Amino acid sequence: MERPYRRRIQLVRRLLVKSGAEALVVTHPPNIFYLSGFSGSAGALLIEPHGVTLFIDGRYTTQAREETADARLRITRGSLLTAVGERLRKSERARVAMEPAHMSVAQHRELKRVADAKIRWVALWGPVEELRAVKGADEIAQMRQAARLGCQVFEKVLPLVKPGVREVELAAEIEYRMRQGGASGAAFPTIVASGARAALPHAQPTKKRLRKNELVVLDLGAILAHYCCDLTRTVYLGRAPSGIRRWYQAVQEAQAAARDALCAGVAAGEVDAAARRVLKRFRLDRHFLHSTGHGLGLEVHEEPRLAKGQKKIIQAGNVVTLEPGVYIEGVGGIRSEDDVAVFSDRTETLTSAPRDLLEL
């Protein structure tokens, strides 16, 4: 695989020129990885017109040498941001950009204290996230693998989904199998929510045992070679009554409508509206408690957001989840989630786990 970092840095520099800044300080680890290949959990990347410097501490020297070729390494003894500030002072930068979404007030104060007081700080909202939203072919290939692993884990765990097992046991089993399959970890705490708890979209697994005649929502994400997948399926333990089947049907149709609406050139809010219209037809729209989906990549929640009123235009290279759901307090919930890559002329659903209602 050709190292993509040089091109990405060029794109960032172009954004910097537009904003009038000469340099950008990056501290968010996924952004540092995206721009340099360094995957350590702490570092600071300084992008200047004629160089890129990665500031790390001594714990990461070997790793940084292995992972980065295009950035100059600065191994610091003290604080990373103090070193960045000193560098900015010496190079006499006048306008420097930072990412307010990723820098604490304390960190910014530290930078300002060390760097020249005359520096004008420019707040750039999500410049790297904008680039990350548009995946290259290599990234999509990696996400295909992550999605495949997620689906394999789901299918392997299905035989264990039965009355008597505890939610926490199933969640642990899911995360164990992800790791066995090569994942570096779960992209988020695995959700196993049964019975009335399935009505909580972000339920934490508990010691509750699964029982017959309950809905069970399983929501899992694996990180494989840095890229995430995000998969949700809802199963029924026993034979589902007609009311539950109707809800399930509604969620499936809402997801299909979102998938049909999703294409390069459409507004993100339109995809959300397509799912919502279907649920309204089933009179379930007020039970749909979240947005239809979100971008997915190095992080599990990225741009673009498929939410009500979002005007952002879907582009070829976006990878998003489509995950409508209905949640009925005291009864249970149903969510179905797939990961979909957008190309200029088509979409590809990366997750292949069965979508029909499974009655176990």
Specify the stretch interacting with Mn ion by CB under 5 A; choose among 43-51, 113-121, 127-135, 222-230.
222-230
For the bound state, the minimum distance from the C-beta of residue 337 to Mn ion, rounded and expressed in Å, comes to 5
For the bound state, the minimum distance from the C-beta of residue 294 to Mn ion, rounded and expressed in Å, comes to 6
For the bound state, the minimum distance from the C-beta of residue 13 to Mn ion, rounded and expressed in Å, comes to 33
For Mn ion, the closer of residues 31 and 321 by Cβ is: 321
For the bound state, the minimum distance from the C-beta of residue 148 to Mn ion, rounded and expressed in Å, comes to 17
Q: What are phi and psi of 54, to 5 degrees?
A: -105, 120
Q: Is residue 230 a contact point for Mn ion (CB under 5 A)?
A: yes
Tokens of 214: 């309950």
For Mn ion, the closer of residues 230 and 303 by Cβ is: 230
For the bound state, the minimum distance from the C-beta of residue 232 to Mn ion, rounded and expressed in Å, comes to 7
Query: What is the number of the residue whose Cβ is closest to Mn ion?
Result: 230
Among 321, 336, 347, 351, binds Mn ion (CB under 5 A): 321
For Mn ion, the closer of residues 175 and 230 by Cβ is: 230
Q: How many residues bind Mn ion (CB under 5 A)?
A: 2
Which residue, 8, 115, 5, 13, is CA-closest to 71? 5
| DSSP string across 182-236 | T-SEESSPPEEEEGGGGGSTTPPP-SPBP-TT-EEEEEE-EEETTEE--EEEEEE
For Mn ion, the closer of residues 22 and 230 by Cβ is: 230
Tally of CB atoms within 10 A around 19 = 13
For Mn ion, the closer of residues 300 and 331 by Cβ is: 300
For the bound state, the minimum distance from the C-beta of residue 188 to Mn ion, rounded and expressed in Å, comes to 8
How far apart (Å, rounded) are the C-alpha atoms in residues 26 and 60?
A: 17
How far apart (Å, rounded) are the C-alpha atoms in residues 193 and 203?
A: 6
Interface with Mn ion by CB under 5 A: which residues?
230, 321
